[in-house]
Chain A
Amino acid sequence: MSAKQKEHVFTKNLDHALLSVYNGYKFFIRFFVEAFRGRMEFQELVKQCYAIGYKSLVLIGLTGFITGMVFTKQSRPSLAEFGATSWLPSLVSIAIVRALAALVTALISAGKVGSSIGAELGSMRVTEQIDAMEVSAINPFKFLVVTRVLASTITIPLLMFYCTLVGLMGAFLNVYLNEGTSAVAFIEKAFEQITFLDLGTSVAKAVAYGFTIGIVGCYQGYNATKGTEGVGKAANSSVVISMFLIFIEEVIIVQVSNYFRG
């Protein structure tokens, strides 16, 4: 490929990337306009909360429990070197509440929920089901996008709390089997170091992650093209882009919360 051809490809890719960012921005703004306009599709919202939240309980629970247990097990040798295994509940609870629960919930949801939204809407786009709504004088954006984004924004923070609880149970099981610590002592130690700022930051993260997973999945699916290939691409890019944005948000929110922590 000649230098001129390379330059042409680069310019074309850059144009495409800038156009995607602009279209994403327009989609983001449209969400807020549509969310506050007209009648809310409550039935669909409840259905999506059930699909995103309730149907993820087993997966999030299992992952959270294993994360809590393994993190405790891996941290023990380091603390044991200083004879500080009694600090395990505090260490684990800080890690789970401040970082792990929100991140694990978000990453699992990006894979499960994001890909499912991307594929479902992508399939509806390429089979003209979205066009069929439009020609029936129904607003497909309100029915499909607003409900799914709101559902993921509402349910992912709830899943995060559930993941925290189950993660701490996993940690307790490990501590109980090794140190014989009672449940009351574990809870006392675990919550000793947790502040409202920690909880608030976790909720803010989960809300941001939930919104990101919903809006990215919807954007990719709603704008899918090129038949079945487009559906696969929409599902795949929903996961990849959501995960990328989740890590960027994690960095920003941690920086902001550390600023308030002083």
Chain B
Amino acid sequence: MKNDTTQEDPIISIRDVYKSFGDLHVLNGVDLDVYRGENVVVLGRSGTGKSVLIKIIVGLLQQDKGSVNVLGQEVSGLKGQELNALRRKIGFSFQNSALYDSMTVRENLEFPLVRNVANLTRAEINEQVESVLESVGLSQTINQVPSQLSGGQRKRIGIARTLILKPEIMLYDEPTAGLDPITCIEINELINEVKEKYQTTAIIITHDLTCARETGDRIAMLLDGQFLQTGTFDEVFASNEERVKSFYDYNFIQ
């Protein structure tokens, strides 16, 4: 599962990022580099700003201070077509999948494809939709609507919808939240398959230690708005930092 990462220039570089919502200080000077081909897991308790961080990376939120550089571009400086061009290279898998309720699975997948890739024939659209559905193992659901799918299926379709634009970077927001243990294992496997097949670089936001261990090449532990520890899973949890140890102990006792 673990790949050697190329330690060149980082393709995501986060420097001294601060973000507050009113009096609530969520990120307090966050620094992180992500290199091409690696899966970085951002681990931390709920409400520590993990999701806020990836929403800043994709330009859904603006940081109060600091710099976020993705694929050589400063995200906060991008607008309109430039921002859209960057977003086409980033796949974002939402915590609750965010599938379009009123559309079938086929329409959910076609929706970003036909609006971002010009001059596709009907046969090409069908081929790409079927191919990406097959890669998440859900070809049989093509004509179903999201309300007919299970939680795990919705997650997979959500990932398929991002993969249809063949992104370079994948951002997973709590990919295993609310799923049973067997489905969690399947989603972890899917994340690793996506990395192999589509050669993606990923940031995986989670508080699930099993997901972190199975999918992460590197773990970044976010506590109190700052990264306390970064390294491999074993390195992070060999730490003597009390808050890191308590997070680990608590999760495994649970």
Q: Name the residue of chain A whose CB is nearest to the CB of B158.
A: A132
B-contacting residues of A (Cβ < 8 Å)?
Answer: 123-124, 127-129, 131-132, 134-138
**Are A128 and B96 in contact (CB-based, < 8 A)?**
yes
Interface-centre pick from A127, A134, A135 (highest chain B CB count, 10 A)? A135
**Are A131 and B116 in contact (CB-based, < 8 A)?**
no
Least CB distance, A39 to chain B, in whole angstroms: 9
Interface secondary structure of A, over-half rule: helix
Question: Mind listing 19 A-B residue pairs with CB under 8 Å?
Answer: A124-B100, A128-B94, A128-B95, A128-B96, A131-B98, A132-B100, A134-B87, A135-B58, A135-B60, A135-B87, A136-B87, A136-B161, A136-B165, A137-B84, A137-B88, A137-B112, A137-B116, A138-B112, A138-B115
Bound-state Cα–Cα, A236 to B84, Å: 34
**Are A135 and B111 in contact (CB-based, < 8 A)?**
no
Q: Name the residue of chain A whose CB is nearest to the CB of B90.
A: A135
B92 at interface (Cβ–Cβ under 8 A)? yes
User: Lowest 10 A-B CB distances belong to which pairs?
Assistant: A137-B84, A136-B112, A132-B98, A128-B98, A135-B92, A137-B87, A137-B88, A128-B94, A135-B58, A129-B98
Within residues 108 to 133 of chain B, which ones have a CB less than 8 A from any CB in chain A?
111-112, 115-116
B234 at interface (Cβ–Cβ under 8 A)? no
Within residues 78 to 103 of chain B, which ones have a CB less than 8 A from any CB in chain A?
84-85, 87-88, 90, 92, 94-96, 98-101
Least CB distance, B32 to chain A, in whole angstroms: 19
Bound-state Cα–Cα, A132 to B111, Å: 11
Please name all residues of chain B whose beta carbon is closer than 8 Å to the beta carbon of A135 when the two chains form the complex. 58, 60, 87, 90, 92
**Are A131 and B94 in contact (CB-based, < 8 A)?**
yes
Please name all residues of chain B whose beta carbon is closer than 8 Å to the beta carbon of A129 when the two chains form the complex. 98-101
Bound-state Cα–Cα, A132 to B112, Å: 10
Please name all residues of chain A whose beta carbon is closer than 8 Å to the beta carbon of B98 when the two chains form the complex. 127-129, 131-132
Indicate whether A132 sits within 8 Å of B87 (C-beta atoms), given known contacts A137-B116, A138-B112, A138-B115: no
